[in-house]
Amino acid sequence: MLIEDTFAEAFGMRAARLVITAKNEKWAREAALKLTGFATSVIACKCEAAIERELTPADTPDGRPGVSVLLFTMDSDGLGKRLIERIGQTVLTCPTTACFDGLPDLPDRVQSGRPIRTFGDKFQISKMLGGRRYWRVPVMEGEFLLAESFGMQRKAIAGGNFLILADTADAALEAAEAAVEAIKGMEGVILPFPGGIVRSGSKVGARGYKGMIASTNDAYCPTLRPLTTSALPDGVNSVLEIVLDGLDVAGITRAMRAGIDAACRPGVRQISAGNYGGKLGPYLFHLRQVMEGA
């Protein structure tokens, strides 16, 4: 097994953590799944989001089961807008839910709960508790409770990644699934793609089409081996990517280490990473340095 001497290149983002609670795990998860739907990449989804972990009643402000969600955007303005859209359309509408701020100690805030309160058509009620303001929005079911503001992590990171180069598509998928399982539930990190796995890693821009932001990463496409400058060693017939977004460098490093460690299994020839020569983002995760603590 070869860990290639390369690095994953990540870039800065803004992030918020939402804590969604409900009568039971089922409804908290229903809301979280809807909220994080179509949020794989900022390229087309305007944000990246996923479930961070499930929370026990002891972890939530109202003592009910919950789910924490991380949502990432390119800028502060976008973060506020995405939260308004997504909370308003998915959590407000979901039976029994309430929505809390999962980063209450951060000084930078986005006031996303404030616009949502207007759904209450001036019947909404404000409540202060522990120095934080909540809004009670009357709905047909009863009341929807949400935080007025959400903490914004200014130095969040998106685009942490590693590539699993395997003999076969089955081996690549098994290794990627093992990596996702190892990372799942780690605090401060999400895997925004379907099942945490990306099969269509991209390069910046396009060879044949002007104006494309991203196109297929042909250097890692096995079917293009003779047609392009391939980065694939002999015997590699399938590549899958794990993309990680996190609240800080330490979290992503920890998660990459756990994921790579789990992915190193029979059928996997090499672990590599996606980068753009250091031109895209300021955060470089050198694979061999990441694995030094393993």
Partner 1 sequence: MSDWITLTPRLALDGPIALSVHPERYAELAEHDIAALPAIGRDREQLPLGEMFTVKGGRSTRVRLEGATPHLHSVGAGMLWGELVVDGDLGSYAGAGIRGGTMHVRGTVGDAAGLAMMGGALRIDGDAGDRLGANIPGAAKGMSGGEIIVRGSAGADAGARLRRGLIVVSGDLLRDGGRSMIAGSIVVLGRCGENAGRGNKRGSIVACGGITVPATYRYATTYQPPHVRVTLTYLRRQYGLAIDQALIAASYRRYCGDAGEPGKGEILERVI
Element (H, E) at 142: strand 142-147
Q: Does 250 bind partner 1 (CB under 8 A)?
A: no
Exactly one of 28, 94, 145, 290 binds partner 1 (CB under 8 A); which one?
145
Q: Quick one: CA torsion of 234, 294, 201, 2, rounded to 10 degrees?
A: -10
Examine residue 98 and tell whether it contacts partner 1 (CB under 8 A): yes
130 sits near partner 1 (criterion: CB under 8 A):
yes
Residue 129 binds partner 1, judged by CB under 8 A: yes
Please choose, out of 104-112, 128-136, 150-158, 165-173, the segment that lies near partner 1 by the rule CB under 8 A.
128-136
Whose tokens are 């404000």? That residue is 126
Per rule CB under 8 A, is residue 118 in the interface with partner 1?
no
96 phi/psi in degrees, rounded to 5: 70, 0
CA 206, 208, 212, 216: dihedral to nearest 10 degrees?
A: -50
Q: How far is the CB of 24 from partner 1 (least distance, A)?
A: 13
Helix (H) or strand (E) run with residue 166 in it = strand 153-166
Nearer to partner 1, 137 or 242 (CB): 137
**x/- track of binding to partner 1 for residues 160-199 (CB under 8 A):** ----------------------------------------
Single residue of 56, 89, 118, 126 touching partner 1 by CB under 8 A: 126
Residue choice 63, 235, 266, 282 for contact with partner 1 (CB under 8 A): 63
Q: Please state, in angstroms and rounded to a whole number, the distance separating the CA atoms of residues 251 and 102.
A: 16
Other CB atoms within 10 Å distance of the CB of residue 112:
27
| Using rule CB under 8 A, residue 19 touches partner 1 | no
Does residue 128 belong to the site contacting partner 1 (CB under 8 A)?
yes
Q: If binding is defined by CB under 8 A, does position 82 make contact with partner 1?
A: no
Residue from the set 61, 66, 80, 102 that interacts with partner 1 by CB under 8 A = 61
Stretch that binds partner 1, among 56-64, 85-93, 148-156, 221-229 (CB under 8 A): 56-64
Question: Is the Cα dihedral 218, 222, 223, 228 positive or negative?
Answer: positive
DSSP H helical segments within 208-264, as ranges?
249-263
Question: Would you count residue 26 as binding partner 1 (CB under 8 A)?
Answer: no
What tokens appear for 174 in the block?
A: 């098994």
Could you tell me which stretch among 48-56, 67-75, 124-132, 262-270 binds partner 1 (CB under 8 A)?
124-132
Give the span between the Cα atoms of 106 and 116, in whole angstroms.
Answer: 21
Give the residue from 61, 48, 81 showing the smallest Cα distance to 19.
61
Give CB contacts under 8 A, 24+ apart, made by 31-34.
31/67, 31/90, 31/91, 31/94, 31/97, 32/67, 32/69, 34/89, 34/90, 34/91, 34/94
Q: Which stretch binds partner 1 (CB under 8 A): 25-33, 106-114, 122-130, 279-287?
A: 122-130
Which residues bind to partner 1, rule: CB under 8 A?
61-64, 98, 125-130, 134, 136, 142-145
